Structure 1
Amino acid sequence: MLKKTVLSLLCCGLLAGTLGAFPAAAASKKKKKAKSEQPVSAPKKTSEYEKLFKEKHETADGMIRLHKVKGKLYFEFPVALLGRDMLLGSTVSEISDNGDAVIGSKPTDPLWIQFTRTGDKVQVRKLVRDNVTDAASPNIARSLASNNIGAIIKSYDIAAWSPDSCAVVFNATDLFLSDNKALTPFDPYGENLYYGRVTRSANYQSDKSFLGEIRAFGDNVVIRSHLSYTYTLKSGSKEIASDVPFTAVMTRSLVLLPETPYEPRFVDSRMSVFPTGKILFSEREQQAKLLCYANRWRVEPSDEAAYRRGELVRPKKPIVFYIDPDFPESWRKPIFEAVEQWNEPFERIGFKQAVEAREFPKDDPEFDPDNIKYSCIRYAPIGISNAMGPSWVDPRSGEIVNASVYVFHDIVKLVNNWRFIQTAQADKSVRSVKLPREVMDDALRYVVTHEVGHCLGFMHNMSASAVIPVDSLRSPSFTQKYGTTTSIMDYARFNYVAQPGDMERGVRMTPPRFGVYDYYAVKWLYTPVFDAASPEEVYKITSRWITEAAADPVLRYGKQQGAVLDPRSQTEDLGDDAVKASEYGIRNLRYILANLNDWVKDEDRDYSYRTDIYKGIVSQYIRYIGHVFANVGGIYLNEKHVGDPVDAYKSVPRERQRAAVLFLLGQLGDLDWMDDEGLMRNIQFMGSPKTYMQIAIIRAVVMSAVKVENSAQLSDDPYTVEACMKDIYDFVWKPTVQGKNPTEEQMMIQREYLLTVCKAAGLKYAGTGAVPKAFAGGPDEEIGFDPYAIAVPECLRGYQSMTDNLCYCGSEHVHSHAGADPGPVSGYNPPRILYVVKQSLEAENYANLLRVQRLLKSRVNSGSQKTRMHYALMLHNIEKTLK
């Protein structure tokens, strides 16, 4: 062993010595040869990704990596997000004219989109998935998947892959920098369009448009687009502005929706909750059915066990509204209070601090009020007397993901006008041009609370005030407890029933903080239902809640109507008896107008305030008689399900309809107060409001037989067409029948009666009626032939369009589908009268015309000379008409 070891060492040493004996030159040659024999590596190839982004450029890292290169926007879009549901919203951040849109507003609804990939292209798909199925219908689910693919609205070439191959890169510039109508900066309700009376045509200026700031976060990205246009405005065929330059900075937010949608809560037409409509196709059903998801925030208890024990708990995620710091300082306190007071009804269902009002954060780098992730209450410095409370939802579930309130500056003008015209007779503190600070604060709080209600998912409930007895509105104890309505989501306003001296007795002038119905609505929409296995099971429970409440009229939901069919669901009304409430209201208008000069003359040197209040008084009067007129031929409507102890429909009682007709006729001779000569000599309010209203009332009442007919066919004890026509005839021709000389007013009413009866009989009257057509500034149809409404004078139409409604809260339209059964939610659509055959009333009106002819023939030679000439002219016109 030792010998082998020594031998091995000697061999190693010999080898070492031999290697060390090679000359240095030989070793060098060998190294060079070895080097030359190694393969030469090719130059490193530049990837397409590196080519795109080789130059320094702006980037933003987040859900999607954004690259802004030489005015172009590239998306580095993760493959993992392909096919995920997103919302693309557009908000106005800056604008050259806020008459076209206001800062913070979202002129269009967000787009529901997905990004998909096919080969070397990426598509942007707009989704409209209104057709749904249930878990028990897998075959239908497969069919719907292929019948409801997203429509491609953009397609992009893949320009590169990210270095790790986890994302595709494409040029998405034109999604944010183009004339995209679905993301337009123009508000369809903007002031420059005069509430729809003006149309706009716009031309996009690509050479003056460019991209601005880009930002990216964990679940959303934000891109600002500077968009320029020129536009032209037309009123009918008349051009009123041409090639007006316009620029808007739009914030486009791309927000990732949750992978698993919030479990929907089904809603039906008996609840005042905004719906997201779907059409259900199911093996369990034998027809397609309309299914509606309730629009609501995700409000879940942070501690379910404590909540079940009845303890107040915070929600996992509160509903947060950020308050614009640009509001006038004096407005901020009532606005914060308006948001936070919504915690009162939430506390009743077990949640504390469910709704929060916060300042705009100054130290949060992610906060952007124009990002649809954040719900804000924004100030708009524009002379619009209004406020709005729209919201946007996850279309898969109805979950509200964003809601905003826009408060326009002249909302203070509107509430000043309301408070003065509706309560100055009783509240001495408002008898001035400026309301006291505490009164204005309370009015602002009420307005914003109403708008926040829309943001929480609640529609208008127009029947809320109609359940209150009129006399209760003069009761101190009642009004202190309940205010003027059972829901602040009504258009109930202030206490115009209260009389002088009532406030000193303790009668309240304002709506409540919340009404009984508001607490009920919050309970229905937001109370968790833990032990139900599916939305269908939840609906069985929540539907039963409505049925159990249906017997209580206070908990009835009354839809907002276009043409008013149900007089209990009107805007701006108070109390359960329109005649009685309007008598009180008109008495107060007379009192206010008689004292207006004395109350404000020292503050209103140029008469501008008095002019506005005078217009408001006339407008308010039209509302009062409109409330009464809705009872003529009215039909009470209820959304009825099996088990609900209500009638689906019922005619307004005969006595109430007749009382309404007689009230309106009585107004014709009691309008002298409206033409206040002392005031009219000093303001720009030309003409005679009194005369105009007399014409409008008589035309509407004579034509009301059209309404009465529908109601009469549905009643066991009807106010018939014949009875209605007789009441009108007896009133109009009473002085003639009695052989008395008619007054000037009575003559005018008789001439107008003839014009209206001839029109209703299908005849062209040879005379002019009360006044020439030019009186109204247009054809006869413009001043009172709508059988469902009292005409608004031309001079007040613009005024009323700005003051009639408190707010615009977004579309209340529910998806409709040809052939789909409306089912239990038909109440979201306008009411329709089916299978009621309308009889022609031409013969009845013709008979009335002949009756008047006979009467005039018997009286043409009696009375004063003026009376005889009046009768002779009418008789001549009748005979000429009948030829």
Structure 2
Amino acid sequence: MKKLVLLLLFPGLTLGVFGQRRRTPTPTPTPTTPPTSTPPPLATTQAPAGLFGGPRTGPKPYKDVITDKAVSQKGLFTVHRVDDKYFFEISDTVMNREIMAVTRFVRVPANKGVGRATYGGELTNQQTVTFERGPSNNVFMRVVTLVNVADSGNAIYKAVSNSNLNAIAAAFPVAAYTKDSASVVIDVTEFFKGDNQVVSISPSAKRSFSLSSIASDRSYIQNISSFPINTEVRTVKTFNSSPSLPGGFSPFPSSTIPAANAAGAVTIELNTSMILLPRIPMSVRYSDRRVGFFSEDFTSFSDIQQRVENNKFAVRWRMEPKDEDIEKWKQGQLVEPKKPIIYYIDPATPKKWRTALIQGINDWQVAFEKAGFKNAIMGKEWPDTASAMSMEDARYSVIRYFASDVENAYGPNIHDPRSGEILESHIGWYHNVMKLVHDWFMIQTAAINPRARKMKFDDDLMAQLIRFVSSHEVGHTLGLMHNMGNSSQTPVEKLRDKAWVEANGHTASIMDYARFNYVAQPEDHISETGLFPRIGDYDKWAIRWGYGYIPGNTKEEQKATSNKLVMKALAENPRTYFGTYELGNPNDPRNQSEDLGDNAMKASTYGIKNLKFILKNLPDWTKDEVDQNENIDEMYTQLVGQFRRYLGHVTANIGGVSETIKTSVQDEPVFEVTPKAKQKEAMTFLQTQILTTPRWLMSKSIWDRVKNPGETDPIATAQESVLNNLLSTPRLARLQESTERFGAVKAYSAVELFGDLQKGLFAELKTKKPIDSYRRRLQKSYVDKLNNMINPGSSASGIVISFGGASALSSADISRTDIPSIARAQMMQLKTEVTAAIAGTTDKMSKIHLMDLKERIKDALDPKK
């Protein structure tokens, strides 16, 4: 699966966190070497060496290979074990069929990652392969890369075929033919024992683990099991490992593995699922940027085209009504699907959290009902008697529980690249995600919710938090992207309306990063129902769009029907809005993570009011008999982090440009500047809340316990970050370009930003009040930044203007823009004001500071040669 790098991705997601393809009734894969119509005679003459063995002889009689000692199992491949060898018997019906090879870690050595560690159950490799009969009694395995396609009935098909040849990743000598020659037998022992990239650890994971060559004498096949549509291969592989010396530099993220230091080797247990993809891929649903599904894509060619067509389609499960219920479903009646989506809970999960995880899965049922399906999705505990089941088996989707200190969870999926059909998912659930949700909930809701005012929550509260995270991650595995913009459709004051917010939720999407309702105030008396996220209007709409009936017999008809549905939904309910910075424009202030409401300044003001209340009470709420002030240190850090999120939400409005997807027939602008009044409101907020020293954060009772003088100061760091952000080259350039395009009445210009910022930042020049140490540091930093703009020197080449691809000036040198000119004008004005203020300043340190500023400004305006 392709991932949007966060970036969940990763993650992550994340993690997140994808492509598409228009299909004809029968698939037309890129041609490979044609299969031999009849097998060659059973020769015994010497033949070339096979890839996985030494010199060989030609095929032998079947009974001489698959002897009476063979233990056999039928399935996708009929698997034979003869002594210590494994053979695949591959029928002609499977030859040239596309097969997904999914390799997961089963067990891994103890490790701690620079980014994150690796755990049993996680994905390490995924490929699409085919088997085909080759010349000289060989069977070839090709790795399929789906980029370009054409129907075989088109003349251009030959051109596409000539430029899209799939690589031969392995060659297997034919050991025997079946009696009717309809199947071949190949020895796969050395292939799976060895380090073959198709079914082994990915190159990136090898770099992370510092693995080198495989130790063949300590690597073996544990077992191979075969089922109707899949074959499961369990292997144990030992690699030599020479970890980097402490302090060594590596361009790749790496893991610390004690076994590598102790034994010079690392042993890993893997499971490779080889699952047969459908002969006829699932019908695709063509993507729409107004509905946030992950997508797949590829380029299609045909003789009748006047331009190449890039098809993009949604990644989703195959959710189909039973044959006898199709018409009922089309008419809007609730029906049961042919095959429901089932997620199993890893038996390693602590028992008291299993119900919450299952509830998070089942919460999506209300959304599937909007798509016309009942009993469409469900969570189940892993059966106690599941001796024939394996959590690594590609037929089962599982929430895998990791014994880890990582504060996260992620929801990936494995899907058919030809159609986007999701085949299975292994959600990654780290044990320490409970710390993450604890800290969020305490810092965001403790002002209003007494149950959030302690370091260990009641089990029923933690279960609710786990349920919410479960719902979010399951949403990803259903194909849904983050919807960072949805919370912007809720008026801020509605978040304080007890009846409204308890009925509707503080965001209309569980896929939003809008954790908890931090706007609600104690006097609002809002219950936990109005504090938690839930499956909302957008989620129900997105599942309806992705899994419900959309009429149309052709691509054009389906896209037209889809467009009408989307436009109708947005017109009737703005809370079906989808927006995310993960798909492009990072400058839309609506599409932010961790924010709430339609006005960041109002929402953040309420949030800060709650933080002040929480800060006063943190010492009492974090007390513990054996705690050596770790609790207060940790939660104070979390509180400062929440405060800085508010600052970021507000700053995004300055130079903000919204992007609202429209069709050409709507004849409406897609890009619009954030109104000037809102940008000036944001500047006023920043001047008040951070550029003026936020002394409320300097809790002496806390700082004396956890802050050593001379350590990084959280307030100074936050102030510097905001100033850097405001005066970043991309933001200033965007302000100027927006002023040119939208006009000075609508847009906030860089000249106005500098003027407002400088006026507030140097207010003491007129008031004659003492300038505190934080303000002195900020003022020096401001002057230094203007100096760098006026005199970029040798660093000029490293300062570029970036518009995210939206501007022709994306790589312009700062010296050729208006920015240095504006900066020089501001510096000249500031020189006059500082010079005039020195005489009337009575505070000694303030006067010394201003005299120093005067010299810095003089040097900037007339640098010494």
TM value normalised by structure 1: 0.82
Match of residue 139 from structure 1: 155
Q: 1:702 aligns with which of 710, 724, 727?
A: 727
- In the alignment, residue 877 of structure 1 is paired with which amino acid? R
Aligned-partner SS, 2:628: coil
Give the direction of change, closer, same or farther, for the CA distance of 1:589–1:255 in structure 2 (3 Å limit): same
Provide the rounded CA distance (Å) in 2 between the counterparts of 1:236 and 1:720: 47
Match of residue 206 from structure 1: 216
Q: 1:688 aligns with which of 713, 717, 721?
A: 713
Q: How does 1:250-399 map to 2 (within 5 A)?
A: 250-302=270-322, 303-308=325-330, 310-363=332-385, 366-399=388-421
Provide the rounded CA distance (Å) in 2 between the counterparts of 1:55 and 1:636: 72
Match of residue 173 from structure 2: 157
- In the alignment, residue 832 of structure 2 is paired with which amino acid? R
- In the alignment, residue 130 of structure 1 is paired with which amino acid? V
- In the alignment, residue 155 of structure 1 is paired with which amino acid? A
- In the alignment, residue 56 of structure 1 is paired with which amino acid? K
Q: 1:90 aligns with which of 76, 80, 103?
A: 103
- In the alignment, residue 101 of structure 1 is paired with which amino acid? T
Match of residue 56 from structure 1: 69
Query: What do residues 363-422 of structure 1 show as CA deviations (whole Å, max 9, x unaligned)?
Result: 556522101121111111111111111011111111111122111101111110111010
Provide the rounded CA distance (Å) in 2 between the counterparts of 1:383 and 1:557: 33
Match of residue 41 from structure 2: none
Query: What do residues 533-553 of structure 1 show as CA deviations (whole Å, max 9, x unaligned)?
Result: 234432221122123334453
Match of residue 451 from structure 1: 473
Q: 1:720 aligns with which of 742, 745, 749?
A: 749
Match of residue 7 from structure 1: none
Structure 2: unaligned runs, 5 residues or longer = 1-57
Structure 1 contact 633–712 (Cα < 8 Å) conserved: no
Aligned-partner SS, 2:124: coil
Provide the rounded CA distance (Å) in 1 between the counterparts of 2:839 and 2:693: 29
Structure 1 contact 638–646 (Cα < 8 Å) conserved: no
Give the direction of change, closer, same or farther, for the CA distance of 1:680–1:290 in structure 2 (3 Å limit): same
Q: 1:581 aligns with which of 603, 621, 633?
A: 603
Structure 1 contact 564–630 (Cα < 8 Å) conserved: no
Query: What do residues 132-174 of structure 1 show as CA deviations (whole Å, max 9, x unaligned)?
Result: 3469x62233443443332111112222223442322223234
Structure 1 contact 71–210 (Cα < 8 Å) conserved: no
Q: 1:556 aligns with which of 562, 577, 594?
A: 577
Structure 1 contact 162–169 (Cα < 8 Å) conserved: yes
- Aligned-residue offset at 1:49: 3.7
Aligned-partner SS, 1:285: coil
Match of residue 183 from structure 2: 167
Match of residue 8 from structure 1: none
Provide the rounded CA distance (Å) in 1 between the counterparts of 2:168 and 2:543: 40
Aligned-partner SS, 2:123: coil
- In the alignment, residue 577 of structure 1 is paired with which amino acid? N
Aligned-partner SS, 2:379: strand
Provide the rounded CA distance (Å) in 1 between the counterparts of 2:382 and 2:529: 35
Provide the rounded CA distance (Å) in 2 between the counterparts of 1:845 and 1:834: 22
- In the alignment, residue 111 of structure 1 is paired with which amino acid? T
Provide the rounded CA distance (Å) in 2 between the counterparts of 1:534 and 1:739: 74
Provide the rounded CA distance (Å) in 1 between the counterparts of 2:717 and 2:575: 38
Match of residue 126 from structure 1: 143
Give the direction of change, closer, same or farther, for the CA distance of 1:676–1:421 in structure 2 (3 Å limit): same
Provide the rounded CA distance (Å) in 1 between the counterparts of 2:414 and 2:481: 14
Match of residue 841 from structure 2: 863
Provide the rounded CA distance (Å) in 1 between the counterparts of 2:704 and 2:72: 68
- In the alignment, residue 547 of structure 1 is paired with which amino acid? M
- In the alignment, residue 403 of structure 2 is paired with which amino acid? P
- Aligned-residue offset at 1:328: 0.6
Structure 1: unaligned runs, 5 residues or longer = 1-44, 766-778, 789-829
Aligned-partner SS, 1:501: helix
Match of residue 164 from structure 2: 148
Query: What do residues 641-697 of structure 1 show as CA deviations (whole Å, max 9, x unaligned)?
Result: 234475311000011111112211222224112232212222367442122222222
Match of residue 78 from structure 1: 91
Match of residue 43 from structure 2: none
Match of residue 691 from structure 2: 668
- Aligned-residue offset at 1:202: 4.5
Structure 1 contact 133–282 (Cα < 8 Å) conserved: yes
Structure 2 contact 449–528 (Cα < 8 Å) conserved: no
Match of residue 449 from structure 2: 427
Q: 2:535 aligns with which of 514, 535, 543?
A: 514
Give the direction of change, closer, same or farther, for the CA distance of 1:144–1:857 in structure 2 (3 Å limit): same
- In the alignment, residue 430 of structure 2 is paired with which amino acid? F
Aligned-partner SS, 1:250: strand
Give the direction of change, closer, same or farther, for the CA distance of 1:226–1:508 in structure 2 (3 Å limit): same
- In the alignment, residue 542 of structure 1 is paired with which amino acid? S
Aligned-partner SS, 2:543: helix
- In the alignment, residue 167 of structure 1 is paired with which amino acid? S
Q: 1:249 aligns with which of 269, 273, 288?
A: 269
Provide the rounded CA distance (Å) in 1 between the counterparts of 2:443 and 2:424: 36
Over alpha carbons, which structure has the higher Rg?
A: 1
Give the direction of change, closer, same or farther, for the CA distance of 1:160–1:546 in structure 2 (3 Å limit): same
Give the direction of change, closer, same or farther, for the CA distance of 1:538–1:698 in structure 2 (3 Å limit): closer
Aligned-partner SS, 2:171: strand
Identity %: 28
- Aligned-residue offset at 1:129: 2.0
Structure 1 contact 93–370 (Cα < 8 Å) conserved: yes
TM value normalised by structure 2: 0.84
- Aligned-residue offset at 1:604: 6.3
Provide the rounded CA distance (Å) in 2 between the counterparts of 1:413 and 1:614: 15
Q: 1:538 aligns with which of 547, 551, 558?
A: 558
Structure 1 contact 124–154 (Cα < 8 Å) conserved: yes
Residue 874 in structure 1 maps to residue 853 in structure 2: yes
Structure 1 contact 674–689 (Cα < 8 Å) conserved: no
Residue 222 in structure 1 maps to residue 232 in structure 2: yes
Aligned-partner SS, 1:109: strand
Give the direction of change, closer, same or farther, for the CA distance of 1:645–1:389 in structure 2 (3 Å limit): farther
Match of residue 678 from structure 1: 701
Moved more, 505-514 or 493-502: 505-514
Give the direction of change, closer, same or farther, for the CA distance of 1:224–1:145 in structure 2 (3 Å limit): same
Aligned-partner SS, 2:317: coil
Provide the rounded CA distance (Å) in 2 between the counterparts of 1:663 and 1:840: 26
- In the alignment, residue 699 of structure 2 is paired with which amino acid? D
Residue 501 in structure 1 maps to residue 523 in structure 2: yes
Provide the rounded CA distance (Å) in 1 between the counterparts of 2:129 and 2:66: 30
Give the direction of change, closer, same or farther, for the CA distance of 1:548–1:684 in structure 2 (3 Å limit): same
- In the alignment, residue 564 of structure 1 is paired with which amino acid? P
Structure 1 contact 126–152 (Cα < 8 Å) conserved: yes
Give the direction of change, closer, same or farther, for the CA distance of 1:483–1:77 in structure 2 (3 Å limit): same
Q: How does 1:592-603 map to 2 (within 5 A)?
A: 592-602=614-624
Q: 1:743 aligns with which of 768, 772, 776?
A: 772
Provide the rounded CA distance (Å) in 1 between the counterparts of 2:419 and 2:717: 51
Provide the rounded CA distance (Å) in 1 between the counterparts of 2:532 and 2:809: 40
Structure 2 contact 67–82 (Cα < 8 Å) conserved: no
Match of residue 842 from structure 1: 820
Residue 639 in structure 1 maps to residue 664 in structure 2: no
- Aligned-residue offset at 1:248: 1.6
- Aligned-residue offset at 1:199: 8.4
Provide the rounded CA distance (Å) in 2 between the counterparts of 1:848 and 1:678: 41
Structure 1 contact 633–710 (Cα < 8 Å) conserved: no
- In the alignment, residue 827 of structure 2 is paired with which amino acid? L
Structure 1 contact 495–508 (Cα < 8 Å) conserved: no
Give the direction of change, closer, same or farther, for the CA distance of 1:116–1:422 in structure 2 (3 Å limit): farther
- In the alignment, residue 258 of structure 1 is paired with which amino acid? P
- Aligned-residue offset at 1:203: 4.4
Aligned-partner SS, 1:682: helix
Provide the rounded CA distance (Å) in 2 between the counterparts of 1:548 and 1:309: 19
Give the direction of change, closer, same or farther, for the CA distance of 1:741–1:351 in structure 2 (3 Å limit): closer
